[in-house]
Amino acid sequence: MKRFTFTLAALVAAVLVQTMDASDAQAQVSSSSFSTGGVARSSASGTGNVRLSARAAASNGGYANARMTGSGRNGGRATGNAIAASNGGVAIARGRSVANGWNARSNSNAIAASNYGVAIANDRARAYGNASANSMSGAFTTGGVSIANGSATARGYFGGRAVANNRAISAVDYGVGVANGSANSTAVFGGYAESNSGAYSVGVGGYRRSGASANSGAMFGGRSYSNAYHYGW
């Protein structure tokens, strides 16, 4: 939003540029916390072939909380980022990524930024078998309340390929905005299934709510494709 101050923008940029390199390129886990007068918490954990990152920053009061939990087993991969920045407000970002199977891939991103308001982002991505799942949730606010919830689940069995993508964004100035998005995809026996969903709640003042859900399924070599989008202005 245009009313975002330079202080908050600089705060978010500072959180993004703080990177930590791990010795193992296949397993990177980094966590950063920054606070000058506020409370900042950061947590990141991983299992197996996983790359994780969690950032939290709070300046001159406020509360920021970033958490990321990932698990990649049996050759599966799980990647994710949770970033929360607050300047006099509350910013909470939660992300979870799970991958399992011989070539499962999962990615989850949750970003919350608040300027004298409340921003909450919850995100989850899960991939099983020969599947790929991506999900991103972002909540931005200036003096209001923004909540974004997103999830993506992909299941591909016996050579099947399932792709699920989701994006939920809520950005409301001096109002309340809620965005819920989910994408679910299932493919069996070489089938191909893809689901894409997006939910956007953007505006100034008032109460704005958006929701989108996309589901697709293909079995025994079939092909399925699904899209769902909702814009709440």
Mean pLDDT of all residues in 61-73: 84
Query: How far is residue 104's CA from residue 156's CA, in Å, rounded to a whole number?
Result: 8
**Domain assignment present for 160:** yes
Higher per-residue confidence, 77 vs 162 = 162
Tell me the average pLDDT of the chain.
Answer: 82
- Please return the burial class of 223, using the count of CB atoms within 10 Å of its CB with bins 0-12, 13-18 and 19+: exposed
Within 13 A of 108's CA, how many CA atoms are on the CB side? 37
Query: How far is residue 107's CA from residue 97's CA, in Å, rounded to a whole number?
Result: 6
Determine the pLDDT at residue 170.
Answer: 92
Determine the pLDDT at residue 75.
Answer: 61
> Is a pLDDT exceeding 80 seen at residue 103?
no
Domain span holding position 176: 6-232
Higher per-residue confidence, 9 vs 104 = 104
pLDDT digits (tens, 9 = 90+) for 116-132: 889 999 999 998 888 88
Residue type, 48: G
Distance of CA 76 to the CA centre of its chain: 19
**Domain assignment present for 178:** yes
pTM score over 0.85: no
Query: How far is residue 126's CA from residue 58's CA, in Å, rounded to a whole number?
Result: 30
Query: How far is residue 24's CA from residue 194's CA, in Å, rounded to a whole number?
Result: 32
- Please return the burial class of 203, using the count of CB atoms within 10 Å of its CB with bins 0-12, 13-18 and 19+: buried
Lowest-pLDDT range, 19-33, 45-59, 208-222?
19-33
Which pLDDT band holds residue 78 (cuts at 50, 70, 90)? confident
Determine the pLDDT at residue 4.
Answer: 39
Determine the pLDDT at residue 197.
Answer: 93
pLDDT digits (tens, 9 = 90+) for 182-192: 999 999 887 88
> Is a pLDDT exceeding 90 seen at residue 49?
no
**Domain assignment present for 36:** yes
Tokens of 50: 């996983």
Which pLDDT band holds residue 179 (cuts at 50, 70, 90)? very high
Tokens of 198: 């997006």
Number of domains in the chain: 1
Question: Could you tell me if 177 and 189 are in contact, meaning their C-beta atoms sit under 8 angstroms apart?
Answer: no
The radius of gyration computed from the CA coordinates of the chain, to the nearest angstrom, equals 18
**Domain assignment present for 1:** no
**Domain assignment present for 144:** yes
Determine the pLDDT at residue 157.
Answer: 83
Higher per-residue confidence, 138 vs 60 = 138
Determine the pLDDT at residue 161.
Answer: 83
Determine the pLDDT at residue 51.
Answer: 80
> Is a pLDDT exceeding 70 seen at residue 146?
yes
Which pLDDT band holds residue 115 (cuts at 50, 70, 90)? confident
